[in-house]
Structure 1
Amino acid sequence: MAGHTYFDFIVPAGSLTDTDKIAYGDFMIKAEVLGNPINQDSWISGPENGFRCDSSPKVHYHGCVYPDVISQFWLTATPDVSEEAEHVWKAQNQPALTLPPSGTPKKIPGSRASGEPLQRMVNAADKKANNDKSARYCRTYWGRGYSQNNTMQCDEYPFQSTYQGSAMGGAATSHFSVDVISTAHNRKAGEHLDKFYNDQRILDQDRFYVDVLRADGQPYGRGDAIPVGPAAPIEYPQCENSSMPEVKDVTTKSPPTDTFQNYARNTPDGWTGGDSTYSVTLPDGRRLWVFSDTFLGPLNSDGTRPTNAKLVNSTFVVQNGEQLTTITGGTKENPDAIMPPTEPGYWYWAGDAMLADINGTKYLQVMYQEYHRFGEGAWDWRFNRNVVATFSLDDLREPERIDQLPSSANVIWGSALLEASRSGDGYTYIYGLSDAPINKKMRVARVKGTDLSRVDGWQFFDMQEGSWMRDEREGAASLTGVANEYSVTPWNGGFVLISQDSTEAFSGKIRIWHSCNPYGPYASRVDHNLVYHMPEPGPYGSYGDGNIISYNAHVHPSLQQGDVWTLSYNVNSMDNRVSWDGAHYRDPGIYRPRFVSFRLEPS
């Protein structure tokens, strides 16, 4: 039969440690049956080091515990703490996917599976050190305005109140994770942790494990936090005009070619060359150019580039009529990228840009892809993740915030954007690709409205399923043959896609496709889909140099005038020598965009 026994004991007065009055005791229970002693082997002893009694103010009331027993904190993923639960689970089970990245494999303690418990830490200065370090990383990865008017907070795991936290656990980044989550979720999870500390009498240096449960008490899994399945059926409305586009009157060296050439020759410290070359019209009518890798001036008097010229990974150039102004990060004396590297060996490349209306205020949003160099070889780098940077129009030198975008399917998002104001159905369309050396494949996502950071509202195109899907990994590739940058633009009641042809390596061909919808299917007329043949690349190109390549062809709606369209593409050299006879130094004109105009008319 079951039962229980109460017994009294006396322990020494204990000692005072800071404010904790602590005493240790031990016991052994000898049992008798009807006055006859039981065999000594059946005596009941306490744990090897006895028990601990305390009257610590850290847990509000006095009591006793077995200090050698490692306690267990169960974080249950109820709706009010689901974001915290997701972060803790990801840190424990998918540490390589957490931020900040680490030069060595991440191993984050705390779960029973790790075998490494956490230890509570009560020193206020040490907790602040944890918080300060984590906050620096949150600002790096989510921007200076990551709190979004105090609705979001920087969350860290292991917890700030542990010796395994970001600062106390070591100088490296392999032992912790940071994320930006709802302030309400973060605070409620903190309340649960404080209650656990109180109920289990967790004092300074006491050990405990952390594990996550679903709201129904079952083991938690990654899929519990991600909505999956169809979001909406794909509809295919017919075009009002089904004619295919015909390219006419192609003109090279179109505006703003001379504007950029003159600026590069004369600027003391601004843009003298760059790639990507996206553009967006600002509310005041100025044009903003978005560049990735950018050389800054000045050039030498003979037009060559000095070998100490500054190269930064991302810049803006603002065009006001014929006047250009370069915007960088950093300072005037030490300019840096608009999106500076988060860690050594990492950098951002720019994607397309647009204006977003967020709570009645217009912002600039620019998509970026982060890449990571993992070796010394020319191609020893790989895609890491997608983000969108949101800039105040009053200060374009640094993003207000940086939001992580879907990246789990290894899709590079930001090849092109089609704003809700031009898509015809109230959705903003986000274009990307599944990358490959050749035969790159287009991917399509969409979100209602104009705020790209609303990742909970993203839907992913799957033509075969006939549905927009909720999870990025459920989307599917569609058109084969696009390049890393392309454009989708309304035309004649339908949409045209313009891209470099990727069905062959380093192709000089820029092609056009047509669809009745922003998402396709896209088709082209064989032998009538060539917009322009870039003349520069390859040993038989205009430079006569096998190191010269051309890429990133797309249309600029900001330059469109009636039926006259303008596209840009980039030219580069794989001769990366930093020397007077290196390609980028003897001829700075190589690394500048080319602008080509043309007319489109129905075939």
Structure 2
Amino acid sequence: MLTRFHNNRADLPLWSYEIVGAEGKRLGVARHGYDRLPGNLGTLAAPYYRCDREKVINHTGGCVNDRAHRVFEMSDSGNPEFAEVTRHIKSALDPSINKYTSPPLRPGHDWSKPEYPPSKIWDGREQPKTIPGNWNVASSPPLHKRPEGTSSFNRNFFSNLEMNIDVGTANPMRWSKSPSTNYCKYYFRDQYGKDENNEGMPWAGRGPRSNKVECDEYPFASTYQGAAGSGRGTGHYSIRAVSGGHNDMHGRVLKAFYDKYHVATHHAFWVSVVP
């Protein structure tokens, strides 16, 4: 934590590092300021808190217990206002069925060139995806929050880009780069209306957001595990065309979770889908 004493800036650790016994077992965390290892860990051991001054949604700065896991819970039946998004995430997290999610993961595809999406035509080479963040699976690694305002780093790997579709087939298409161009319009064409632009790309709908079809993604674009991966793309993610109203409401609830539990840059969290 960065603090100020008489106009002098200095680092002030709220807690010292872990106390580890001779056998390597974690015994606790001692309060900062002790000049010796505490003789009675039962009374002196304390939680480990991490503090920062980062702005998360509506609040700037905060302290969190770094030993406590933060889990974003969604109910398959209890949150009807964004049920389409919940069902999508549930499918993405299930390795027994997520090879059927879009875009399909196939060996040999170059994910660093998102302007060439893999064909939606099933050819039997589709592979299960390794998608993180599942609290209900002990071995599943967490998601990590990206800095505020950088979600486009992930979204640009499946939207707002030029798309060269079904290259090498009898019916190739090219969709120009625009804010409305995205993978969902290719993989989920039937979910959109009949109206198309002069390149054959369907429109998302007219009127309020609730009347439109939007492209949902998991892992969330607000995390380092999103579609961009480390920057060269990764096939281990999922998109699905969902109701704009459901997508909007889910986004609001996720932001509220970040805000309430101070999920700041690089902070870890999981998701859990319950009945």
TM > 0.5 between the two? Answer: yes
Structure 1 letter corresponding to 2:14: G
Give per-residue Cα distances to partners, 1:183-228, cap 9 Å, x unaligned: 11111111111111011111001000011123xxxxxxxxxxxxxx
1:13 alignment counterpart: 3
SS in 2 for 1:90: helix
SS in 1 for 2:240: strand
Deviation at 1:59, TM superposition (A): 4.2
Q: Equivalent of 2:154, from 109, 116, 130?
A: 130
Structure number with the bigger relative contact order (C-alpha 8 A, sep ≥ 6) is 2
SS in 2 for 1:165: coil
Deviation at 1:28, TM superposition (A): 4.1
Structure 2 letter corresponding to 1:115: S
Q: 1:475-490 to 2 correspondence within 5 Å?
A: none
Q: 1:141-540 to 2 correspondence within 5 Å?
A: 141-143=187-189, 144-145=201-202, 147-149=204-206, 150=209, 151-169=212-230, 171-214=232-275
Q: Please tell me whether residue 86 in structure 1 is matched to residue 109 in structure 2.
A: no
Give per-residue Cα distances to partners, 1:309-346, cap 9 Å, x unaligned: xxxxxxxxxxxxxxxxxxxxxxxxxxxxxxxxxxxxxx
Once the two structures are aligned, what percentage of the paired residues are identical?
Answer: 28
Deviation at 1:156, TM superposition (A): 0.2
Deviation at 1:107, TM superposition (A): 1.0
Deviation at 1:105, TM superposition (A): 3.2
Structure 2 letter corresponding to 1:81: F
Deviation at 1:172, TM superposition (A): 4.9
Conserved in 2, the CA contact under 8 Å of 1:101 and 1:173? no
Deviation at 1:39, TM superposition (A): 6.3
Q: Which segments of structure 1 move beyond 6 Å, counting only runs of 4 or more?
A: none
Distance 1:211 1:81 in 2: 15
SS in 1 for 2:88: helix
Deviation at 1:127, TM superposition (A): 1.5
Structure 2 letter corresponding to 1:55: R
> Which protein has the bigger strand share?
1
Q: 1:66 to 1:59 in 2, by over 3 A?
A: farther
Q: Equivalent of 1:117, from 129, 142, 153?
A: 142
Distance 2:145 2:239 in 1: 19
Q: Please tell me whether residue 108 in structure 1 is matched to residue 134 in structure 2.
A: no
Deviation at 1:60, TM superposition (A): 2.7
Deviation at 1:141, TM superposition (A): 1.3
Distance 1:106 1:64 in 2: 35
Conserved in 2, the CA contact under 8 Å of 1:134 and 1:154? no
Distance 1:131 1:179 in 2: 13
Conserved in 1, the CA contact under 8 Å of 2:56 and 2:148? no
Conserved in 1, the CA contact under 8 Å of 2:103 and 2:239? yes
Q: 1:24 to 1:141 in 2, by over 3 A?
A: farther
Distance 2:86 2:229 in 1: 23
Q: Please tell me whether residue 58 in structure 1 is matched to residue 104 in structure 2.
A: no
Q: 1:192 to 1:82 in 2, by over 3 A?
A: same
Q: 1:74 to 1:44 in 2, by over 3 A?
A: farther
Q: Equivalent of 1:25, from 14, 32, 44?
A: 14
SS in 2 for 1:63: strand
Distance 1:68 1:146 in 2: 46
Distance 1:134 1:23 in 2: 43
2:75 alignment counterpart: 76
Distance 2:252 2:203 in 1: 23
SS in 2 for 1:145: coil
Give per-residue Cα distances to partners, 1:45-102, cap 9 Å, x unaligned: 234xx31223332243343112353311112231101001000000001311211110
Give per-residue Cα distances to partners, 1:256-285, cap 9 Å, x unaligned: xxxxxxxxxxxxxxxxxxxxxxxxxxxxxx
Structure 1 letter corresponding to 2:205: Q
Q: Please tell me whether residue 40 in structure 1 is matched to residue 86 in structure 2.
A: no
Q: 1:166 to 1:146 in 2, by over 3 A?
A: farther
Conserved in 1, the CA contact under 8 Å of 2:213 and 2:241? yes
Distance 2:146 2:131 in 1: 17
RMSD (CA atoms): 2.6
Distance 2:144 2:53 in 1: 19
Q: Structure 2: which 5+ residue stretches go unaligned?
A: 5-10, 16-28, 32-37, 107-126, 160-181, 190-200
Conserved in 1, the CA contact under 8 Å of 2:216 and 2:239? yes
Q: 1:44 to 1:72 in 2, by over 3 A?
A: farther
Structure 1 letter corresponding to 2:103: P
Distance 2:101 2:87 in 1: 11
Conserved in 2, the CA contact under 8 Å of 1:71 and 1:209? yes
Conserved in 1, the CA contact under 8 Å of 2:228 and 2:234? no
Q: 1:527-566 to 2 correspondence within 5 Å?
A: none
Deviation at 1:142, TM superposition (A): 2.9
Q: How many residue pairs end up in the alignment?
A: 186
Q: Structure 1: which 5+ residue stretches go unaligned?
A: 1-10, 15-21, 30-37, 215-603
Please report the TM-score for the alignment, with normalisation by the length of structure 2.
0.60
